[in-house]
Structure 1
């Protein structure tokens, strides 16, 4: 059974089957609990609970990535073109782990913009070979759920005011990163990081972005729109609920 858990064989993943829906529900419940927790900053238990959540998220981010890399190496499938964490969720996993560790303001809001929605979309339309209870099933869902949770957590628990300038800065950083991946990394190692050469095998919203130059234009426009909506929602929540300054801060 242990060998089957880590093998290269297993039951094919069934989108929106029971194992898929359960993970989406878990994600939603956790999201609600994090939002509720962020409103309790004046409570005496907040500092200790904050650190418990912070280190819990950090642990699973690191464990998920390290275990996945170890699995791909052990099974002999690791390759430069597929297994470096250069996709948006992979980079978000790294930046949000560092944001949790260092409590850095720039990493915090960058992680929020690039790490909240992409993992959520991945959870809804997984590009996943194996279903429950294979290692890849657990790694995929645990990792993407925690990336999105952590990206929201660092913003909701931050004392920093999230201005629209953070949207423009994050968008600019993303454009520079995408250009580096698209013009240098993907051609050199024949990869498809950030899905800049072609869309994922699974059915995703990227399938509706067109082809050629239109595909890249739509990627940029949608990224800016999504970043702006995320900023507006968090700005509204913090202003509406009059969030008090947290006992610990990012930055």
Structure 2
């Protein structure tokens, strides 16, 4: 237990090791399971209160325990350990949405909390292997975020619209402006990875550097939101409308 909670560990993380592949499998299974509940959640939401509570507990335990670990390890800092990265903000939005069912927070959690944490599961920025707390915190947190976001969207599908995608993009742009122009320069932080890409190899590495990186990041986020919206509509509408062709589907997406 002492080694598991220690500041460092000799058991380093290896990408695509059996433990990493196992975590990716669990993440994918959770996404498939929650997506498969789309019809049942709408009609029988109260029957899945246990799942709502479990997701809420996972999110809260992940963030609270991480803050406790950073303090106990003596590494906590304003520049590195506040929950201001995109996944952390999506996590907080999901926590409040799971309690309140606030539509804006459901939309924010859905558009920001599915693809980024799943990419993080594939390309994790985690230093230690499964014998250390950081491994379990990272993967459990980054799995529970998309699970929670999909649960919220599946339970309240009417909240996920094309207009919502643009609304969340606007909210995220305002937040990024505050972080990028105010908080990061004042504290020397790199929240939202606005100054540079993560240490781990991620798709952000293909976006260039400097001003080009910022512009490409903004375009990539918009493309991600629109692509995610189209995929979501396709998944939720195809089973209900037999014979629905792709051209007809995309026309319906654009007018919804």
Please give the range of the TM-score, normalised by the shorter of the 2 chains: over 0.9
- Summarize the Cα distance change of 1:182–1:39 in structure 2 as closer, same or farther, 3 Å threshold: same
Aligned with 1:3: secondary structure?
Answer: coil
Among 84, 94, 102, the residue aligned to 2:82: 84
- Summarize the Cα distance change of 1:6–1:237 in structure 2 as closer, same or farther, 3 Å threshold: same
Check conservation: 1:119, 1:144, Cα contact below 8 A. yes
Aligned to 2:114: 116
Give, in angstroms, the shift of residue 42 of structure 1. Answer: 7.4
Q: Higher RCO, 1 or 2 (CA under 8 Å, sep at least 6)? A: 1
Aligned to 2:23: 23
Give, in angstroms, the shift of residue 159 of structure 1. Answer: 4.4
Among 105, 127, 130, the residue aligned to 1:129: 127
Aligned with 1:4: secondary structure?
Answer: coil
Aligned with 2:37: secondary structure?
Answer: helix
1:1-251 mapped onto 2 (5 Å cutoff): 2-10=1-9, 11-41=11-41, 46-242=44-240
CA distance in 2, matches of 1:84, 1:238: 36
- Summarize the Cα distance change of 1:79–1:195 in structure 2 as closer, same or farther, 3 Å threshold: same
CA distance in 1, matches of 2:100, 2:65: 23
Give, in angstroms, the shift of residue 41 of structure 1. Answer: 4.3
CA distance in 1, matches of 2:90, 2:45: 25
Q: CA RMSD in A?
A: 1.4
Give, in angstroms, the shift of residue 152 of structure 1. Answer: 1.1
Give, in angstroms, the shift of residue 133 of structure 1. Answer: 2.1
Give, in angstroms, the shift of residue 234 of structure 1. Answer: 1.5
What is the TM-score normalised by the length of structure 2?
0.90
- Summarize the Cα distance change of 1:69–1:161 in structure 2 as closer, same or farther, 3 Å threshold: closer
1:108-152 alpha-carbon deviations (Å, 9 max, x no partner): 011100011110010000000110121001000000000011111
Give, in angstroms, the shift of residue 161 of structure 1. Answer: 4.8
What is the TM-score normalised by the length of structure 1?
0.92
Higher helix share: 2
1:160-215 alpha-carbon deviations (Å, 9 max, x no partner): 25221111101001110000000000011110001111111111111110111110
- Summarize the Cα distance change of 1:157–1:136 in structure 2 as closer, same or farther, 3 Å threshold: same
Tell me, which stretches of 5 or more residues in structure 2 are unaligned? 242-256
Check conservation: 1:105, 1:160, Cα contact below 8 A. no
